[in-house]
């Protein structure tokens, strides 16, 4: 194992504990290096033997700090990421030293995984960001704090460093309950929800297939809270009895479960147009449409879901930032056809 202290002086940080210093070493360093590393990253560095106190290597994060202690942190160079960078075009909405905001197209997988080890958003971000990635957990990779399904388009944010990653992760974990985080989606659904505005509060869990989800009873072992707010903003083919052939719905998430909007809308009887997993039983609805509209709907081969707005607090400046992703061409074509009903 290489000695982290046999590195160039430029890769070290040397600190002296001031008068009154106390508490755990990892907590003290987290405060002293708050602009550089998260506490979890510092704890890992201590356990790796990269921190010395008064010339003695310390491997216990809970070691106490005393006034006058000379603390040296050896900073290993971030490792190359396991996924490799790939020159995949990206639609960047905003970028700075801490984060990158982009509009993900439908068809692009976010993370490498079984069946998709290359050609993902992570591969694209590694190539695009290059040396501006200071590393997440010691690896030069983008910190993806939320996901969109492969066939869902829309705005996403990724962190470039540990501090930004932690700050953004905390916001997404809070789901905007105490902060400015907001996520809004546009969905095109079959029929029209009975209520034009409502809240779907239905726990979700696995549906046998590891990739699919279903509404579960609260007492189910894998049931996880899931809350979606929705509002009907446009109706297509509306009839005198207040029903409609389809509708455009705006959804806002109070939680962020896998396939949440897709499952919740299907649960209330209004699955997304084009959804192969939760709306397949409604494919015959297209037979009720005029031939031109039917052809357009049948040619739409993904769930009609677009994450059009994302708002969050910038991890360094504290500024509330709001981004909107334009509606992609395929969904514009679908909406234009439905508006002729």
Q: Is the pLDDT of residue 10 over 50?
A: no
pLDDT > 90 fraction of the chain, expressed in percent and rounded: 60
| pTM for the whole structure | 0.77
Strand-pairing partners, residue 180, are: none
List C-alpha distances in Å: 319 to 14, 142, 181, 295: 32, 21, 12, 46
Strand-pairing partners, residue 15, are: 71
CATH assignment of 183-338?
3.30.2350.10
Paired sense of beta strands 99-104 and 153-159, if any: antiparallel
Lowest model confidence (mean pLDDT) among 55-64, 86-95, 126-135, 270-279: 126-135
Q: Class of 9-74 per CATH?
A: alpha beta
For 293, the token pair is: 């509209």
Report the pLDDT averaged over residues 103-107.
97
Report the pLDDT averaged over residues 255-265.
95
Q: Is the pLDDT of residue 7 over 50?
A: no
**14-56, pLDDT tens digit by residue?**
888 887 788 899 888 888 876 567 777 788 888 888 898 998 8
User: Taking the mean position of all CA atoms in its chain, how far away is CA 100?
Assistant: 12
The span from the CA of 258 to the CA of 304, in Å, is: 16
3-state class (DSSP) for residue 263: helix
Catalytic residue check, 149:
yes
Report the pLDDT averaged over residues 315-341.
97
**137-182, pLDDT tens digit by residue?**
656 778 899 999 999 999 999 999 888 998 999 999 998 889 999 9
List C-alpha distances in Å: 133 to 99, 128, 164, 178: 9, 10, 11, 29
Note the pLDDT of residue 98. 94
Report the pLDDT averaged over residues 245-257.
95
| Positions of CATH 3.30.2350.10 in the chain | 91-174, 183-338
Considering 98, 149, 162, 277, which one is annotated as catalytic?
Answer: 149
Within the chain, residue ranges assigned H as helices are 25-32, 39-47, 121-129, 162-174, 260-267, 291-298, 329-338
Note the pLDDT of residue 1. 46
**190-227, pLDDT tens digit by residue?**
999 999 999 999 999 988 777 899 999 988 888 999 99
Report the pLDDT averaged over residues 302-325.
97
pLDDT band of residue 114 (cuts 50, 70, 90) is low
For 250, the token pair is: 């705006």
* Contact predicate 154/208, CB 8 Å: no
Report the pLDDT averaged over residues 230-253.
93
CATH assignment of 91-174?
3.30.2350.10
């Amino acid at each position: 194992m290489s000695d982290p202290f046999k590195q160039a002086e430029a890769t070290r940080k040397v600190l002296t504990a001031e008068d009154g210093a106390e508490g755990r070493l990892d907590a003290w360093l987290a405060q002293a290096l708050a602009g550089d590393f998260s506490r979890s990253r510092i704890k890992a560095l201590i356990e790796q033997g990269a921190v010395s106190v008064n010339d003695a290597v310390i491997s216990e994060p809970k070691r106490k700090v005393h006034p006058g202690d000379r603390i040296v942190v050896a900073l290993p160079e971030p490792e190359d990421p396991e996924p490799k960078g790939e020159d995949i075009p990206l639609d960047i909405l905003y970028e700075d030293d801490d984060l990158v905001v982009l509009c993900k197209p439908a068809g692009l997988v976010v993370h490498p995984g079984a069946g998709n080890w290359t050609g993902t958003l992570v591969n694209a971000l590694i190539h695009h960001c290059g040396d501006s990635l200071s590393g997440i957990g010691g690896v030069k990779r983008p910190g993806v704090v939320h996901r969109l399904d492969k066939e869902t388009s829309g705005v996403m944010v990724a962190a470039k460093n540990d501090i930004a990653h932690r700050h953004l992760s905390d916001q997404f974990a809070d789901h905007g309950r105490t902060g400015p985080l907001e996520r809004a989606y546009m969905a095109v659904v079959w029929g029209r929800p009975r209520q034009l505005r409502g809240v779907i509060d239905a726990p979700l869990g696995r549906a046998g297939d590891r990739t699919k989800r279903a509404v579960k009873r609260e007492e189910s072992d894998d049931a996880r809270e899931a809350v979606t707010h929705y509002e009907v903003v446009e109706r297509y083919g509306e009839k005198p009895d207040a029903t409609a052939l389809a509708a455009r719905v705006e959804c806002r998430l109070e939680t962020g479960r896998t396939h949440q909007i897709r499952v919740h809308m299907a649960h209330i009887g209004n699955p997304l147009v084009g959804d192969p997993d939760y709306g397949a039983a409604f494919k015959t609805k297209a037979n009720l449409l005029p031939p031109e509209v039917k052809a357009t709907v049948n040619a739409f081969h993904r769930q009609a879901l677009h994450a059009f707005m994302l708002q969050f607090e910038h991890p360094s400046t504290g500024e509330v930032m709001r981004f909107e992703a334009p509606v992609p061409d395929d969904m514009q074509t679908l909406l234009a056809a439905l508006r002729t009903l």
